[in-house]
Structure 1
Amino acid sequence: MIHWKLAVIMAERNIKNNELACLINMNPISISKLKVRRRFTRIDESTLNALCKALNCQPGDLLVYEEDKPDTK
């Protein structure tokens, strides 16, 4: 499973939704929606590029792969 770590990266860099929204020319509500995701669904290349540039990070900093755990029922 791919985990989305935007909220973690933003917290580490002490960047608020409004500030990031201004940096990448996006609506703060859109940033909030991106931030609350825990699982990675999809994101377009231009948004990922803008996030990496604004946060001074690599795509691998925002996305983390963890193997699915088998059900233990």
Structure 2
Amino acid sequence: MTIRINLDVELAKNKMSLKQLSGDISISMTNLSLLKNGKVKAIRFSTLEAICQALNCQPGDILQYESTNPNTHLD
């Protein structure tokens, strides 16, 4: 199972830099960069909420599930 982080896509849609987002939501550039590059194992709901509010998007726009086994289905 893989969760893809699409933060860079949402930033581009909003013509916003990571630095600007960091300032807007008071989360460090380091933490946002780690998130953007998929180097984190977890994200707080409060962080996800702040990102979604700043980028005017839904959590599903930021996080995308990708199955590592194409024959696996969720029922």
Instruction: Please say whether Structure 1 and Structure 2 have the same fold, judged by a TM-score greater than 0.5.
Output: yes
C-alpha RMSD of matched pairs (Å): 1.8
Supply the AA of the counterpart residue of 1:54: A
- Could you tell me which residue of structure 2 aligns to residue 7 of structure 1? 8
* 1:18-69 Cα deviation digits (max 9, x unpaired): 100111011222222221117x621011101100100100001011122214
Distance 1:43 1:69 in 2: 24
Alignment of 1:1-73 (within 5 A): 1-37=2-38, 41-69=41-69
Count residues with an aligned counterpart: 69
* SS, match of residue 2 in structure 1: strand
* SS, match of residue 50 in structure 1: helix
Deviates more, 1:54-63 or 1:28-37: 28-37
Moved beyond 6 Å, runs of 4+ = none
TM-score (norm 2): 0.77
What runs of 5+ residues in structure 1 fail to find an aligned partner? Answer: none
Identity %: 39
